[in-house]
Amino acid sequence: MMIDMWSDEKIHEFRETLLSWYDADGRATLPWRQDTSPYRVWVSEIMLQQTQVNTVIPYFERFMTRFPTVQSLAEAPEADLLKVWEGLGYYSRVRNMQKAAQQVVGDFQGEWPKTMKELQTLKGIGPYTAAAIASIAFKEPVAAIDGNAFRVFSRLFKIDSDIAQPATRKEFFELGNKIIDPVRPGDFNQAIMDLGSSFMTAKNYDSENSPVKAFNAAYLDGTESYYPVKSKAKKAKRVNYAAILVQNDDDYLWEKRPEDGMLANFWTVPLVNIDEFIDDADVQWTDDEIKIALEGYLLKNYGISASLSMVEIKPITHVYTHQKWYVSVFSAVISSDTPLKQGNWRDFETLMQDPQPKIQEKIWKAMQIK
């Protein structure tokens, strides 16, 4: 689409207005702004993907203490990575971070690449994160286009491209590159983010008091509520699961999830997708029929002969972005020396040393185990 591009003079005024505000009222105390080494900037940027600042702060501090250098991260066992990331979500982020750390150590001799283009060759670093690191740590004048930038620029210029469309990112990137401050590109990008999370939020924005209200075309003509244009996401699909909690003296049955998909590689109690388990979708199984089927499942897959009981009538619900889980908990207490066909037995204290996804916490809680 065509936008009403600013004059050079207006661009200069905008930079000055934005950066003056940032110097006076920006979030200068954020821990990752104290020192703009590429490692620190990178760690913070990955954590901040789809995650709010207040959530990230304690994780960032712990992470930097546990893995102070890119070398220490490159060498860490995966379980340690996940344990530090536990509860933060999108766990592929930290796995990719380790691969990227190994790339920096191995392919770049421990020296961080300094350009957006090169940074994007690292695992888990896409166009946004590459631009953020390049601009903040190395002063490359490239626009970091994230949700804030989409929101701020769409209002300033009344851009009605759908920001949910991947192709739209290029348009905003090119616009941002025209107005970014070439002397202070990192501060410019961070100022846009601070603006986007204060006066120019998605809801309850306060453009009247925004430092850049004079540049906000949508505000000036009263059409601000229209921006940014974003198509609706699909509704989360309902998925039914059974959690099978088997206790053998002090131990619980514990199993590693597949390498791909939801909660990849986490150790959990066996979680059975009931919808897949019941092959005929037209038949509604009763709880008792499910119980009997799960007992057969336990015997076949684990060699465990047990009589299950349903713990809660009401399933535990857990909402992900694209799935809503309804987890019915079944349990049994056995006493057996029979070897397991798969999985293993672990006492509670030992298994808690593994990273726990939130759904697992909810299962312990439903069982009143802690």
Partner DNA sequence: AAAACGTGGAG
Partner DNA sequence: TCTCCAAGTTT
Q: Is 201 in the site for DNA (CB under 7 A)?
A: yes
Give the Å distances, CA to CA, from 271 to 239, 242, 278, 308: 12, 6, 14, 14
Q: Is 204 in the site for DNA (CB under 7 A)?
A: yes
Q: What does the DSSP assignment read for 210-234?
A: -TTGGG-HHHHTT-GGG-S--PPPP
Q: Is 125 in the site for DNA (CB under 7 A)?
A: yes
Catalytic residue among 13, 45, 208, 224: 45
Of the residues 66, 83, 123, 139, which one makes contact with DNA according to CB under 7 A: 123
Q: How far apart are CA 145 and CA 139, in angstroms?
A: 16
- String of contacts with DNA for each residue 53-82, x by CB under 7 A: xxx---------------------------
For residue 34, the minimal CB distance to DNA (Å) is: 12
Q: Is 203 in the site for DNA (CB under 7 A)?
A: yes
Q: Is 148 in the site for DNA (CB under 7 A)?
A: yes
For residue 301, the minimal CB distance to DNA (Å) is: 21
Query: In this chain, which stretch among 109-117, 142-150, 215-223, 294-302 interacts with DNA, using CB under 7 A?
Result: 142-150
Only one residue has tokens 């104290």, namely: 34
Query: In this chain, which stretch among 64-72, 177-185, 212-220, 254-262 interacts with DNA, using CB under 7 A?
Result: 254-262
Paired tokens of 363: 């299962």
Query: In this chain, which stretch among 13-21, 110-118, 217-225, 316-324 interacts with DNA, using CB under 7 A?
Result: 316-324
Q: How far apart are CA 52 and CA 304, in angstroms?
A: 44
- Measured from the CB atom, the residue of 151 and 155 that comes closer to DNA is 151
Name which of 9, 23, 25, 18 is nearest 216 in CA terms: 18
161 neighbors 1 (Cβ within 8 angstroms)? yes
Of the residues 17, 64, 80, 90, which one makes contact with DNA according to CB under 7 A: 90
Give the H or E element holding residue 59: helix 53-66
Q: How far apart are CA 258 and CA 363, in angstroms?
A: 19
Single-letter residue type at 213? K
Q: Is 193 in the site for DNA (CB under 7 A)?
A: yes
Q: Is 370 in the site for DNA (CB under 7 A)?
A: no
To the query of whether residue 45 is one of the catalytic residues in this protein, the response is yes
- String of contacts with DNA for each residue 161-190, x by CB under 7 A: ----xxx----------------------x
- String of contacts with DNA for each residue 211-230, x by CB under 7 A: -------------------x
- Measured from the CB atom, the residue of 304 and 351 that comes closer to DNA is 351
Paired tokens of 344: 């293993």
**What is the radius of gyration, based on Cα positions, of the chain?**
25
Of the residues 80, 124, 177, 251, which one makes contact with DNA according to CB under 7 A: 124
Query: In this chain, which stretch among 89-97, 212-220, 273-281, 326-334 interacts with DNA, using CB under 7 A?
Result: 89-97
User: How open is the CA angle 91-97-98, to the nearest 5 degrees?
Assistant: 105
Side-chain half-sphere exposure of 64, counting CA atoms within 13 A? 17
Residues whose CB falls within 8 Å of the CB of residue 66, separated by 6 or more in sequence, listed in order: 80, 84
Residues whose CB falls within 8 Å of the CB of residue 360, separated by 6 or more in sequence, listed in order: 266, 268, 269
Q: Is 197 in the site for DNA (CB under 7 A)?
A: yes
- Measured from the CB atom, the residue of 158 and 318 that comes closer to DNA is 318
* Three-class secondary structure of residue 243 per DSSP: strand
For the chain, what's the residue count?
Answer: 370
Q: What positions carry a catalytic annotation?
A: 45
Residues lying near DNA in the complex (CB under 7 A) are found at 27, 30, 32, 44-45, 48-55, 87-92, 96, 123-130, 132, 146-148, 151, 165-167, 190, 193-194, 196-197, 201-204, 230, 232-235, 260-264, 318-323, 357-359
